[in-house]
Amino acid sequence: MSVSRSDGRNLGLFTLHGNTLLVPAVVVGIVYIPYVAKPVRGQVLTLREREFIDAARQQGLSNSRIMFTEVLPNLASTIVVFVPLILANAILLEAALSYLGAGVQPPNPSWGTMISDGIQTIPAAFHNVLAPGIMFVLTVLSINVFGDGLRDALDPRAKVRIAH
């Protein structure tokens, strides 16, 4: 008689093992769902009361058709603006998890594990902390600047517009 033993957590669609890249991905996904869902839900609730949605209902369009043809195009700018900001925060969270040992494990590269490993060699080789730290900061800052610029470019209420 053989007993089947599963290493990891069965989450239905997949099994989550302790040393895979899915652990930080699932943690980042769970942490940042509310940051995206709350503003998107608020915008959907305001769009639901607009006249063009009432007109689509009067035309007899189904709820899914209204969502894909009327609501999603109006949400596109919000979603496009949130992606770089959430991406920068996800990189920060993944690096923090990896630094603490709960994220990406050592055979796989991560800025958090590189910084954590480099701290042990600081007196002799400070560049082991400095190089990944600088790249980490530059990446997060550049993504944030890109997200701010994208938000300013897509803001319909912006006062300053570049005239062509």
pTM above 0.75, yes or no: no
Nearest to 151 by CA among 70, 66, 61, 88: 88
Q: Alpha-carbon distance 53 to 72, whole Å?
A: 12
Tokens linked to 48: 């639901």
Most confident of 35-39, 111-115, 137-141: 137-141
Q: How large is the average pLDDT for residues 45-60?
A: 91
What are 5-8's contacts with CB under 8 Å, separation 24+?
A: none
Indicate the Cα dihedral angle 54, 56, 62, 64, nearest 10°.
-90
Whether the CB-CB separation of 110 and 94 falls below 8 Å is answered with: yes
Nearest to 45 by CA among 80, 78, 86: 78
- Asked whether residue 114 carries a pLDDT value surpassing 90, the answer given is no
